[in-house]
Amino acid sequence: MNNITWVQGEAGAKAFLVAPNNTIALWDSEAQVIYIKETDMAGRPTMQILDYTIRNKPKDEMEVLKDEIAELKKKIKEMANESVISEDEPTDKDVKSVKE
């Protein structure tokens, strides 16, 4: 059983009829909005508009550790590549031996 009532935009929520002394949550099918529409004893409607966001599931500790390890591996590779490049560059000793 689906208890969600869908409407198309704010115009659809305003047009939705609610019996006197009732409240209903109307979900927008076009945006992340919920309309809370209620009527008083005379049937006069009032409406609150709520924007909602979907939260991402937080990472567990293992996922965080895996991300940190991957980042450290990347940094180590970069440092190793830098040290290989610097070993190929001539040193002061090499320059002196060439001059002699």
Provide the sign of the torsion angle of the four alpha carbons 10, 12, 18, 22, taken in this order.
negative
Opening angle at CA 32, ends 18 and 2, nearest 5: 55
pLDDT single digits (tens) 2-38: 689 999 999 999 999 999 999 999 999 999 999 999 9
pLDDT tens, position by position, 27-76: 999 999 999 999 999 999 999 999 998 887 776 777 778 888 889 899 99
pTM of the model: 0.55
Parse the chain into domains and list their residue ranges.
5-51, 55-89
Count how many residues are written for the chain. 100
* Contacts of residue 42, Cβ cutoff 8 Å, sequence gap at least 6: 20
Please list the alpha-helical segments (H only) found in the chain. Answer: 9-15, 61-88, 92-99
Contact 46, 37 (CB under 8 A): yes
In the chain, the percentage of residues whose pLDDT exceeds 70 is 79
